Structure 1
Amino acid sequence: MNPRHPTDRPEAGGRCEPPAGPAPSLVATPARDPAVPRQVQGGEATALAAAGHGRRTGPPAPGGDPLQDPDPAAAADAAAAGNLLRCWVRERGVGRPDGPALRIPLPSSGMALSVPVRYWSATGGHLFGTPRLDPGGPESPQADAVTLAVLFARESAHGAGPGAVTDLVGRVADSVRRTAGFLAARRAAPAPVPGADLFLGAEQDLVLGHPLHPAPKSREGVTGHEARRYSPELRGGFPLHWFAVDRSVLAADSAWTEQGRVVPAGRLAARLAGEGIAVPRGAVPLPLHPWQAREAVHRPSVARLLAAGLLHDLGEHGPPWHPTSSVRTVLRPGAPAMLKLSLGLSITNSRRENLRKEMHRGVEVHRLLRAGLGRRWREAFSDGPPFDIVRDAAWLGVDDTEGEPVPGLDTLVRHNPFGPRDDVCCVASLTSPRPWPGDPSGALRSRLAHVIGDLAGRTGRPVPAVAAEWFLRYLRTVVRPVLRLDGVAGIALEAHQQNTLVRLDAEGWPAGGWYRDNQGFYFREAHRDALLARLPGLGRDSGTFVEDAVADERLVYYLGINNVLGLIGAFGSQHLADEELLLAALRRFLTDEARPADGRNSSSLPGLLLGSPTLRCKANLLTRVCGLDELVGPVDGQSVYVTIANPLVTS
């Protein structure tokens, strides 16, 4: 990697200032002729992997892996410290050290850190040992995750206000504490219940969370006794809390069809409620998260509707629903729908209450795809496995007596296309380490490592060869359809690893995929007329059209950096494949995708990734220090973005 690269200032709306530097142009430059190794040009995954067999991207690991500490609290702290260090390295443009340790100067605190480097990744998936205060010898004090949060927040909180350090430190401490509990529970019972729903099991396996977020498991506001019910990592479950909404204040829309007829959202909700719930005449049942219902009744707008008899609190009812990886989206095995519930908790970078514009967006995307766009899109990747968008086909919520939305009471009804034995998992869950069933040591291993190891064992092929082929199949199965939707329709997807689902066949190879999330659609302004011709009024209530530069920036980060480069980093850091050779394979794939074929318009992403020496990247540490909420304000100012070196060009 380029040893140094600049960072730049946050988007409009940010309240703190990372070190200044030039922002790269988002205009696609012509793709360079990449230096692709001969074995990649031949397209043979086995030859690709064999060329890198035994290579290491980083120095030998000094000492044991702190993530495998038998003490769950120590392992949780090591995971959090690693996240903070990866964030710091990425957001500050720190280059690879010359020796086995990384030195991090901290001028605002008048000290420095010495951090053993266990693995240095070309794509940001570094592994570190225990950091110590300089000079870093065995007698130097260790720096735990909370200490790192204090030190890094002090260095980053330029203009962010006096609460920036306190807020970050509190979230990091909360995340570490919860992660320790999750690890302890999973080490005690790592295996799922026999016969459990495979998709739900995968959703509940994201034990450590986003590896480049400072506090991925922070959920301030959930008390200890509630955690077991509401935490996917603890395989929680709970009955829904139901309100009844008088039709005079009901807000709803539905594009859910059965046998060619639209099913109203209220009827869908009544079906999900089942028998035995007493809904007053002229009212419709509304499902809520129990935590949200408890909090919402104290809001003045909700209290007024309850007092007026326009809203009725029916309490908890029905069989348990189970939280998926997002915490607030819930699933009941066998039900035809999942529910995306409002939940006023701050999780990662936002308070997770549904916004009305997102409800409109989910339904209009479903209508747009049914209006012929879905067929045209599928034709653009008809030579590959099936890929689709999980449809957010209906929603219902509450307006006040003046017709204004009542915040926090909107619920989304999402298709559940997965049967109980469908082996479908989000990429984040696939790559995240977790306690593995049958391992008495409680060691953490990812499903990805298990799949690749199992395939290698059954086929007799080297692990790197299998990993390389798996990655190439993933590009064709999952990445290509996302690029084709952008090229065909000008719709960019926020396809980060948690929003991207991959189906595994009986052997473990990628065999299909889905995108999910009504928040993450970007309609390009350049395609406005064509999209409006398919669905008049599109974007009027959802605010989904954005300038091409914004769509490019989001596509580069979510699909390019978070998803694909993050997957390469997981392969490398878990010693499954050589990162440089996977980057070479990615270059070839992107070069092919950048060439229009059969009248197909190509996405701008391949050209950006192949030709730009720097890329725009979301900075989760700075976003948290700045106190930004990704669901608040204009789309181009909801997060801090920085400029990082592009490993496809500089590696």
Structure 2
Amino acid sequence: MNTSSPKEIAQEAVDITFTILLNCCVRELGNSSFYEGVPKYDPVLKSYMSKYNHKLHLKLDFPVDKVEVYAPIRYKSETFRHLYDFPVMERDLTNETIREIDADRLLELITNQVRQQYPLADSKNVKKRMQLSTEKIAQFLEHFQTSGQDFNKPEMTFIEAEQLFPAGHLLHPLTKGREGFTESEVLKYAPETGGHFQLYYFLVHPDLVTEKSVDNVLPSDFAKNEVLKASKGDQKTQDLLSNYPDWKVIPVHPWEAAHFKSQTVFDTLAKENLLVDLGEFGKEFTATSSVRTVYNNESDYMYKFSLHVKITGAERINHFHELYRGYEVSRLMQTAWGDNVKKTYPDIELICDPGFISVSYNGNVLDSFSTSVRYNPFKVTAGEKENNVCLLASLCQDGVLGNPSRMQNVIQKASQQTGLSLEKTSEIWFKNYIDIILTGVVKMFNEQGMFCEWHQQNTLVQLGAAFMPEKLFFRDNQSFLFRKSFEDQLDKIVPGLSENGKMFIPDDRLYNLILHYFWVGNILAVVNTFGTSQLTDEKNLLNILYDKLEDLQKEDESGLVTFILESRYWKVKGNLLTALNDIDCGGNPAGVTRINFPNVLHKRFFSEQLINPKGKDLVYNRYFPKEDVTISLRPVDIDNDLEMLHEWFHRDHAKANWKMDWPLQELETYYRTLLPSDGLYSYIGMANGEPTFNIEVYWPTRDVLGDYYDVLPTDYGTHQFIAPTDPKLKFVSPSTQCMIDYVFAQPETGRMVGEGSVDSRASMMNKAFHGFKIDKVIEMPHKTSNLNFCYREWYWEKFPQNKDIKIISETEHNLINQ
């Protein structure tokens, strides 16, 4: 195990927070692009970038402050959680100065930008809490190192995986927020420090208490027995319990007890003889990863307490309907319906919350007492070996302190069992995982009408002897939800089921919850983990996912799978925007800021050849005997083509239509951000070896054009600019045919799409001549356009001889049977 100095640990914590903040920008702000290479015509940027050896940067634009930010990319992700090298640089466009910046400065820029859309956005509290979170990450990393704990070992018990979790939520800028805890309280109550503590108990008048349980014993009676056992020799407590036989004994988190006792309502209740302070008793508990849910390895139950501490983005309070939801689902699971669920999904265990306690005074719920009682399937029986149960969030943790990630260690072990490569073993592991969880989620949604919020914090993975997923556990009383269309059916099974839990949700709203919690927060996080751990290519796993969904789609009558597969964007929660808008996602879930997340499954139809060709050699070469010309295509070479393109775009006919008559520096920036994107690529076309035209091939599903029609992921579009004005040198039709041949030769292409300006009549006539048909006129931000389409059949109807074209760049004459 590597050893880091305190300074290195502090810097790693800063880098973790900075990485999260950068990725929040990528996902939530829409101001990012990738910048490839070191510029030739931008002296300020060139001077800075030449000092380092970074081939790719994330570029963030902040026009409000006239600033650009550049962050070196270490790992570029298909699922939009990238890894970075540091430092990060800010360029002031007003005075052309460059300086290195920290996360606080980036947050300031973000806030100024966000205020254009959300005027009340405020970074003050976010900045403070982000700094506290960073300090906690450093504290936990140092604790793990000094205590010698191996936080990435492949085998862990339930509580080890819950607590050996240093960096936390990988997409929340306040990932280790613990606002409300003092330094000593963090050591005692945070899971990462493994502190143990007794529970605090109050004796409360029964008229104030609401409690439920599906078990034979009420939560307060169970708590009373615990206090009785622990208070032997404490005559005062024994006498109190005897003198108030009908009063309720209620456990509370010790921190929350102190918080409650500082409130005036505590003094009021005590004076009115409605409450008695019993103090701390009994066996010691320790925090799970959620902080407020506590565990004792000998107890039949875990407790999920209310805690007025801001953990990540919200104070963690058990709301009354959430308490009821857990209890009602426990009731349902004790029926024949529940027996069928257990039988149908033997590899999935839904951990239920069989009871709860709530206290009200003068019609107001006293949140400090709101507690959910959860079954403990991880109780340790003497002499038995504990199962290797992993919190998914800890399994998805990056490597820290110079050590491999936990997933790397798990796959290394699994690879020894399979005898296969790490890549093949990773794919098998992933297939096993989605066979259990994806099949279960889709089938449960269809047949039981149920969805559980399977995010990383709620998902536990049990690994078998071969280190492959063999069973999954789901936990969280507030996260059991049902389709509204199943309400009557389930209400007959458990009368009154729908009255208190607010658990029946219309399908369209459930779809978005599924996409956020399960799809992006779980499945894509696992995909990203394999990628960032360099175990396999993310695209391989996305293709496996697509295949699995297509299989599930055959029996999916709900429309869920089709929604996942076909949506251009998925609506997910924006953690950064939610924090900046000061929205408590626990108390106000409807107020959460949601963003569009591109459907990464559509990469199944992404043509690497069109949008990300390798090298600079010819990709297509064709001889046209009638015109006696050979037309060739090759990718743009920024270093050698830029001055030529700059001259082309300054020609009169280019200025009118292309409007790219920019200075060399601006044009270079355009190409350095265009070429590493997944939206568009540029090619140079040549006539008899002489460069004469430029085409751009773009993917409309990731382009602004996709906003104006029902875009398909198999759509591909082109722009074409012919530089010469001499008709003898234009070769318009051969050039256009080569462009269309090249695009249609790729198997990912379904149809071609165009959006030529209505003012460019010659362009549209050329398109029509080659088989394109106008669909409608659309108003785009920069022009009024003719939306047009072309299918292979339409093109081949115009040019039947081109149906047999083979795209072979090495040969000059590749027209079959010419």
Please give the range of the TM-score, normalised by the shorter of the 2 chains. 0.7 to 0.9
Counterpart of 2:61 in 1: which secondary structure? strand
Q: Name the larger-Rg structure.
A: 2
Q: Which moved more, 1:265-274 or 1:126-135?
A: 265-274
In the TM superposition, 1:217-366 aligns within 5 A as: 217-256=176-215, 262-273=216-227, 275-277=229-231, 278=237, 279-280=240-241, 281=244, 282-366=246-330
Pick closer, same or farther for the CA change 1:520–1:142 going to 2, 3 Å: same
Using the alignment, how far apart are the partners of 2:80 and 2:6 within structure 1? 23
Using the alignment, how far apart are the partners of 1:604 and 1:69 within structure 2? 53
Tell me how far 1:373 sits from its aligned partner.
Answer: 2.2
String of CA shifts for 1:151-188, please: whole Å, max 9, x gaps.
22222234656671101111111110111111111122
Q: Which one of the candidate residues 333, 338, 346 is aligned to 1:374?
A: 338
Using the alignment, how far apart are the partners of 2:597 and 2:519 within structure 1? 13
Using the alignment, how far apart are the partners of 2:302 and 2:408 within structure 1? 29
Using the alignment, how far apart are the partners of 1:330 and 1:77 within structure 2? 29
CA contact (8 A) 1:394 1:414 kept: yes
**2:585 corresponding residue in structure 1:** 630
- Unmatched tracts of structure 2, length 5 or more: 38-55, 232-236, 381-385, 607-818
- State the AA in 2 paired with 1:611: E
**2:659 corresponding residue in structure 1:** none
CA contact (8 A) 1:556 1:605 kept: no
Q: Which one of the candidate residues 60, 69, 83 is aligned to 2:20?
A: 83
Tell me how far 1:458 sits from its aligned partner.
Answer: 4.3
CA contact (8 A) 2:257 2:368 kept: no
Q: Which one of the candidate residues 446, 457, 460 is aligned to 1:498?
A: 457
CA contact (8 A) 1:204 1:233 kept: yes
Q: Which one of the candidate residues 155, 159, 170 is aligned to 1:211?
A: 170
Counterpart of 2:520 in 1: which secondary structure? helix
Tell me how far 1:303 sits from its aligned partner.
Answer: 2.7
Counterpart of 1:408 in 2: which secondary structure? helix
**1:387 corresponding residue in structure 2:** 348
Pick closer, same or farther for the CA change 1:320–1:388 going to 2, 3 Å: same
Q: Which one of the candidate residues 542, 567, 575 is aligned to 1:583?
A: 542
Pick closer, same or farther for the CA change 1:390–1:638 going to 2, 3 Å: farther
Counterpart of 2:477 in 1: which secondary structure? coil
Q: Which one of the candidate residues 593, 598, 601 is aligned to 1:648?
A: 601
Q: Which one of the candidate residues 123, 133, 137 is aligned to 2:90?
A: 133
Pick closer, same or farther for the CA change 1:547–1:300 going to 2, 3 Å: farther
RMSD of equivalent CA atoms: 2.4
String of CA shifts for 1:568-617, please: whole Å, max 9, x gaps.
01110110111101000001111111221xxxx55543212211121111
**1:424 corresponding residue in structure 2:** 389
String of CA shifts for 1:180-215, please: whole Å, max 9, x gaps.
111111122242699x98101110022101111111
Q: Which one of the candidate residues 497, 503, 512 is aligned to 1:538?
A: 497
**1:106 corresponding residue in structure 2:** 62
CA contact (8 A) 1:160 1:625 kept: no
Using the alignment, how far apart are the partners of 1:132 and 1:272 within structure 2? 58
Pick closer, same or farther for the CA change 1:464–1:185 going to 2, 3 Å: same
Counterpart of 2:198 in 1: which secondary structure? strand
Counterpart of 1:101 in 2: which secondary structure? strand
Counterpart of 1:344 in 2: which secondary structure? strand
Pick closer, same or farther for the CA change 1:157–1:315 going to 2, 3 Å: farther
CA contact (8 A) 2:191 2:289 kept: yes
Using the alignment, how far apart are the partners of 2:99 and 2:259 within structure 1? 43
CA contact (8 A) 1:395 1:413 kept: yes
**1:150 corresponding residue in structure 2:** 108
Does the alignment pair 1:411 with 2:348? no
Does the alignment pair 1:475 with 2:427? no
CA contact (8 A) 1:386 1:511 kept: yes
Q: Which moved more, 1:270-279 or 1:463-472?
A: 270-279
Q: Larger RCO: Structure 1 or Structure 2 (Cα < 8 Å, ≥ 6 residues apart)?
A: 1
Pick closer, same or farther for the CA change 1:604–1:495 going to 2, 3 Å: farther
CA contact (8 A) 1:490 1:523 kept: yes
Q: Which moved more, 1:152-161 or 1:519-528?
A: 152-161
Using the alignment, how far apart are the partners of 2:312 and 2:535 within structure 1? 29
String of CA shifts for 1:292-338, please: whole Å, max 9, x gaps.
11111232333321221211111222232100000000001111110
| TM-score (normalised: structure 1) | 0.82
**1:608 corresponding residue in structure 2:** 563
String of CA shifts for 1:232-280, please: whole Å, max 9, x gaps.
1111221111111122222110012xxxxx2222222224445233253
Does the alignment pair 1:189 with 2:147? yes
CA contact (8 A) 2:120 2:581 kept: no
Q: Which one of the candidate residues 502, 507, 510 is aligned to 1:548?
A: 507
- State the AA in 1 paired with 2:387: D
String of CA shifts for 1:208-227, please: whole Å, max 9, x gaps.
01111111111111111111
Counterpart of 1:164 in 2: which secondary structure? coil
Using the alignment, how far apart are the partners of 2:354 and 2:337 within structure 1? 16
**1:453 corresponding residue in structure 2:** 412
Does the alignment pair 1:72 with 2:9? yes
Q: Which one of the candidate residues 166, 171, 181 is aligned to 2:124?
A: 166
Using the alignment, how far apart are the partners of 1:621 and 1:174 within structure 2? 16
Q: Which moved more, 1:90-99 or 1:314-323?
A: 90-99
Q: Which moved more, 1:156-165 or 1:344-353?
A: 156-165
Using the alignment, how far apart are the partners of 1:531 and 1:95 within structure 2? 49
- State the AA in 2 paired with 1:340: K
Pick closer, same or farther for the CA change 1:108–1:344 going to 2, 3 Å: same
- State the AA in 1 paired with 2:274: L
Tell me how far 1:444 sits from its aligned partner.
Answer: 3.8
CA contact (8 A) 1:68 1:443 kept: no
Counterpart of 1:519 in 2: which secondary structure? helix
Tell me how far 1:411 sits from its aligned partner.
Answer: 1.2
- State the AA in 1 paired with 2:577: L
String of CA shifts for 1:374-395, please: whole Å, max 9, x gaps.
23334544xxx52121110111
**2:79 corresponding residue in structure 1:** 123
- State the AA in 1 paired with 2:398: P
CA contact (8 A) 1:197 1:333 kept: no
- State the AA in 1 paired with 2:351: V
